[in-house]
């Protein structure tokens, strides 16, 4: 039967068949973050439009659109399309730079982007990510990549490639931007229309283009590495040698600049080796100037964000099937008080119960209990009978304590 209402284009329900895997994945990500001493932060779903417009290039770049509206008090509101700007806002507002000089935060949250829905690209999706504030040392970059690699390993996501690059300082970026603009301007003939638009607004983003016709032009574009100074080159080499020592495999990707304007220094991305068009699992990098730009004190920072839907798809992690300890049959209203009292006691003793409020007959309840992988059938009428579904053993018990003894001795 067709439902009268359908979900909004680009959004998805996460149904009970999948929520166990989601919860398991979330637990793994919470645990690993905490093992590395990152603390969880939760920020509101709505923020002022300017937070994203002025700081991370949303709405200025042709392909980055948000869900926005003006509320009754004429405030311009956006559903958050990314997490770094809200986390930085909260970091500055909360004065964390005073109380916690080496502040490490992580999040799991829903984000909203008004982009063309396609496979792997949703209008509402979930990200897990971390942000580390307060250290400009390359050791911090190694640690952040180590967290990402540890998470993927724990989620049993194996067939991936880590791409790394260093895009230098903002001055390097400006020089590189000029160099790219000159190069791309000479090659507009076979360029995609999106890249042509970006030539004026943000030429660096042309390097992120997935359009077929742009690939041969990108392949011969100048690389940023040639503009790096000695200390930036040394940092990059240090990063790579530490990744080698950790046995984290990587590829140097000279064109990995990451879309948003605020990155500097290390940039990285983890992709799946499949041929899917949306193969990016995780992207991150350093953003040493964003905190100051947003009104805080000058604070170096680095982080990454990973798409949870895409991680779920790639994960080979197996979750145990949902199971029920005790299937309760109580079909006679006269015994409902006793039934609820036993049920409450079972719950308080950490048993999982399923109560058949439809009051099917016991034969059908038994069938249903088997289908739901229940371990015991508990029949409460004028007697209390408990039956081990596997062995078919059954006994009569007089009260909850006897029932508990029986269950514990099984």
Binding site for ligand AMP (CB under 6 A): 82, 113, 115, 121-122, 125, 127, 280-283, 305-307, 309-310
How far is CA 131 from each of CA 177, 185, 291, 360, rounded to the nearest angstrom? Answer: 26, 36, 12, 54
In the beta sheet, which residues pair with residue 229? none
Q: C-beta of 67: minimal distance to ligand AMP in Å? A: 12
Instruction: Report the C-alpha gap between 283 and 131 in whole angstroms.
Output: 12
Compute the least distance from the CB of residue 311 to ligand AMP, in Å: 7
Least Å distance between CB 123 and ligand AMP?
7
**Across the strands, what pairs with 129?**
107, 305
- Give the N- to C-terminal CA distance of the chain in Å, as an integer: 45
Q: Which of 81/296 has CB closer to ligand AMP? A: 81
Edge-first strand listing for the sheet containing 103-112 = 39-40, 103-112, 124-133, 301-307, 280-286, 264-272, 160-166, 251-252
Contacts 24+ apart (CB under 8 A), 114-117: 114/65, 114/66, 114/67, 115/10, 115/63, 115/64, 115/65, 117/9, 117/10
- In the complex, the smallest distance separating the C-beta of residue 168 from ligand AMP, rounded to whole angstroms, is 20
Q: Please report the DSSP string for 64-97 in residue order.
A: ----EEE-TT--EEEE-S-SHHHHHHHHHHTTHH
**Cβ 201 to ligand AMP shortest distance, Å:** 18
By beta-carbon proximity to ligand AMP, the closer residue of 305 and 343 is 305
Residue 366 C-beta: closest distance to ligand AMP, Å: 44
- Residue 72 Cβ vs ligand AMP, minimum distance, rounded to whole Å: 29
The smaller minimum CB distance to ligand AMP, of residues 127 and 264, is found at 127
Nearest to ligand AMP of 121, 335 (CB atom) = 121
Choose between 274 and 336: whose C-beta lies nearer to ligand AMP. 274
Q: Rounded to whole angstroms, how far apart are CA atoms 27 and 405?
A: 33
Cβ-count burial 211-228 (b if 16+ within 10 Å, e if not): eeebeebbeebeebbebb
Residue 122 CB, nearest distance to ligand AMP (Å)? 4
DSSP 52-66: HHHHH-TTTSTT---
**Complex with ligand AMP: residue 238 or 313, whichever CB lies closer:** 313
Please say which residue, 79 or 227, places its beta carbon nearer to ligand AMP: 79
Q: Cβ closer to ligand AMP: 125 or 176?
A: 125
CA distances (Å), 20 to each of 15, 23, 88, 109, 321, in order?
9, 5, 32, 17, 9
**Rounded-to-integer distance, Cα 348 and Cα 24, Å:** 23
Q: Which two tokens stand for residue 92?
A: 């500055």
- 265 versus 307: smaller Cβ distance to ligand AMP: 307
CA atoms of 279 and 313, how far apart (whole Å): 11
Residue nearest to ligand AMP according to CB distances in the complex: 307
Q: What is the smallest separation between the CB atom of 124 and ligand AMP, expressed in angstroms? A: 8
């Amino acid at each position: 039967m067709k439902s009268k209402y359908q979900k909004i284009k680009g959004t998805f329900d996460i149904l009970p068949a999948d929520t166990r895997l989601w919860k398991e994945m979330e637990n793994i990500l919470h645990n690993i973050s905490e093992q590395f001493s990152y603390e969880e932060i939760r920020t509101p779903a709505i923020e002022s439009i300017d937070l994203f417009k002025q700081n991370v290039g949303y709405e200025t770049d042709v392909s980055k659109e948000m869900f926005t509206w003006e509320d009754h008090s004429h405030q311009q509101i956006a559903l958050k399309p990314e997490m770094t700007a809200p986390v930085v806002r909260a970091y500055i507002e909360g004065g964390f730079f005073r109380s916690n000089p080496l502040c490490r935060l992580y999040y799991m949250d829903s984000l909203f982007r008004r982009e063309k829905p396609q496979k792997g690209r949703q209008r509402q999706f979930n990200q897990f990510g971390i942000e580390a504030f307060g250290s400009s040392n390359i050791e911090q970059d190694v640690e952040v990549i180590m967290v990402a690699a540890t998470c993927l390993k724990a989620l049993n996501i194996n067939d991936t490639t880590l791409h790394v690059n260093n895009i230098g300082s903002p001055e390097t970026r400006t020089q590189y931007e000029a160099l790219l603009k000159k190069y791309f301007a000479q090659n507009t003939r076979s360029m995609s229309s999106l890249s042509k638009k970006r030539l004026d607004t943000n030429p660096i983003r042309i390097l992120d283009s997935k359009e077929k016709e742009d690939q041969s032009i990108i392949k011969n574009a100048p690389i940023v590495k040639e503009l790096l100074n000695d200390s930036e080159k040394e940092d990059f080499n240090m990063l790579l040698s530490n990744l080698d020592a950790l046995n984290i495999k990587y590829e140097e990707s000279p064109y990995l600049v990451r879309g948003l304007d605020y990155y500097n220094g290390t940039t990285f991305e983890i992709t799946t080796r499949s041929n899917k068009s949306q193969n990016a699992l995780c992207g991150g990098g350093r953003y040493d100037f964003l905190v100051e730009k947003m009104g805080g004190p000058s604070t170096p920072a680095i982080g990454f964000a990973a798409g949870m839907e895409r991680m779920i798809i790639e994960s080979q992690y197996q979750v145990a099937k949902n199971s029920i300890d005790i299937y309760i049959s109580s079909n006679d209203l006269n015994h409902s008080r006793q039934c609820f009292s036993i049920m409450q006691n079972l719950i308080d003793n950490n048993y999982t119960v399923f109560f058949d409020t439809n009051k099917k007959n016991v034969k059908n309840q038994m069938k249903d209990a088997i289908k739901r992988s229940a371990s015991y059938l508990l029949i409460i009428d004028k007697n209390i009978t408990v039956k081990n579904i596997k062995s078919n053993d059954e006994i009569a018990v007089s009260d909850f304590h006897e029932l508990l003894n029986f269950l514990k001795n099984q």
